[in-house]
Chain A
Amino acid sequence: MDGVQDWTSMLIAILILSSFILNFTDIPQKIQFTRYSSVVRRKLMELIEFEEEGRRKSIKYLKDMNMPNPKALIDNYVDNFFMIFPVEREPIDIIKRLKHLLRTRDEAVKRYVLEQVPNISEIDRQKTEVLLELNSVLTYINKVVKHYYNLGVKFNDWIMMMQLALQINQIVRLAKAYKDAIDSFGIGAPIGDGAGALVAKMLLDSSLVASEVAPETNLYEASLEGRKLYVIKAKGPGPTVGWPGEALEKLAESLECKISRIITVDAALKLESEKSGEVAYGLGAAIGDLGPEKIAMERIASKCSVPLDAVVIKMSNEEAINTMTKQIYEGVVKAVDVVKNIILSKTKEGETIVLIGVGNTLGIE
């Protein structure tokens, strides 16, 4: 029994000592800090690898487009061309100011690519712009994670390190989606975000001719079961989203508001419990822009007193920026039926309907 008593006393002593260490020293936090910082460090290595891989792949795709110096093109773009958002404290004309800044930035990026490669085709120019943007995003994600990691190490901030360690898996998942998107845009096949544009395309006859009603935005005049159908979508097959709000403004003006219904179709981010390719419909403008295009649609709908329908195809963030999956394509087919059903059940023969297929039209003419 002596042995047992010795062990028991030792265990009690260890418990008291551990309790003292746990309650009255910083040792547990230091241990946690070391564990969490090692997790973040490992994931940071992955993020750096994503950035480098993305850069390598982009250089390869740009070389395929006969770019003279793709590395310098990317290096000079990343970190530059940022946009400072307009003052929100004074909201008067904020949309006008935001639209102006977005247009100016777009023009600056376009000019930058054209200065480097003057004889580039429109599709290759658009692809180059997207590849530059993706590289910029990957670099930015890395920088932000490194910033918080370095801050945590500098100030021994174990709470910051713990928060970063808990969020890092989601950040890595997002960065991986952007890295994979480089392949999708390099290949040129439609991406998930193109679901809205594909719905619009599927409702059009192959013989219809488009007119460019706004920059990089096409307008088609079609008919469906005795109704006049105007279809607006970005001009494909390059990776662009166009300016659908501005196109609608111009169309409504030319039609003097004689519109019976506006239907918007777009990809929408799904919740984790939802299935990819699910289709849902409701009211409002289905568009995920920063504001100017959406507000233009809402203003036209209210000015002309026209119902504004929204049809969405659900998908994850990763699916939205990567090659369209079969599941999403099946959702697109369902959405076409939903749009047809809305047109046939909610409008009469002879009426005019505007359909806007929102989204990136890569790989869709």
Chain B
Amino acid sequence: MPLSLDPIYILFIAIVVFLVSYLLVSYFRESSTQKKEERGRIITIKKCLNCGYVLSKPYEKGDYVGKKEGRCPKCNGEMMTTAIYLEPPPQPQVATSS
């Protein structure tokens, strides 16, 4: 028997479609917010106390701001840690059309 397109049928189908799409949207929204976050990397900035040469390297346990350690590769002066911070992870490249 062919299904006649009564207004009631249309309403019923619309309600079902709405509920299913609402469920799907909420599911995907929740799973997308639970993506694993990238923390970035911690950088140590060292500066030569003699010539001002700045060196950046990955943070190592035991580094602290004010720590005097190592020699300057340019003038052999004393190096001091002047900053330690978390560098954000690189942003994904967005394709641009010219």
Contacts and interface: CB of A to CB of B under 8 A. Distances in A.
A339 interface: no
B67 interface: yes
Contact of B6 (A7, A198, A206): A7
B29 to A, nearest CB: 13
Contacts of A27: none
A236 interface: yes
Considering residues B7, B59, B64, B82, which has the most beta carbons from chain A within 10 angstroms of its beta carbon?
Answer: B64
B4 A3 contact: yes
Nearest to A207: B49
B70 interface: no
Contact of A206 (B80, B86, B87): B80
Contacts of B61: 187-188
B95 interface: no
Given A206-B68, A236-B64, A323-B42, A189 B6 contact: no
A324 B84 CA distance: 8
B83 A325 contact: no
A198 B82 CA distance: 9
A187 B85 CA distance: 12
B83 A189 contact: no
A187 B7 CA distance: 65
Contacts of B88: 325-326
A4 B83 CA distance: 76
Interface of B is mostly: mixed
A4 B6 CA distance: 7
Contacts of A198: 65, 83
Interface string B66-92: 111000000000001011111110000
B45 to A, nearest CB: 9
B86 A325 contact: yes
B62 interface: yes
Nearest to B87: A326
A365 B64 contact: yes
A268 to B, nearest CB: 18
Considering residues B4, B59, B65, B88, which has the most beta carbons from chain A within 10 angstroms of its beta carbon?
Answer: B65
A328 B88 CA distance: 12
Interface in A18-54: none
B86 to A, nearest CB: 5
A112 interface: no
B94 interface: no
Contacts of A324: 84-86
Contact of A237 (B42, B43, B66, B68): B66
A231 to B, nearest CB: 13
Contacts of A329: 83, 85
Contact of B84 (A4, A8, A189, A202): A189
Contacts of A365: 64-67
A113 B7 CA distance: 75
Contacts of B64: 188, 190, 236-237, 363-365
A166 to B, nearest CB: 16
Contacts of B6: 3-4, 7
A283 interface: no
B20 interface: no
19 contacts: A3-B4, A4-B6, A4-B8, A187-B59, A188-B63, A188-B64, A189-B42, A189-B86, A201-B65, A206-B68, A206-B80, A236-B65, A237-B66, A237-B67, A323-B86, A326-B88, A363-B65, A364-B65, A364-B66
Given A3-B4, A7-B8, 17 more contacts: A8-B8, A201-B66, A237-B67, A323-B86, A325-B88, A326-B43, A326-B85, A326-B86, A326-B88, A328-B85, A329-B85, A363-B64, A363-B84, A364-B64, A364-B66, A365-B65, A365-B67
Interface of B: 4, 6-8, 42-43, 49, 59, 61-68, 80, 82-88
Q: Kindly list the 5 A-B residue pairs having the minimum CB-CB distance in the complex, ordered from nearest.
A: A365-B66, A237-B64, A7-B8, A329-B85, A364-B65
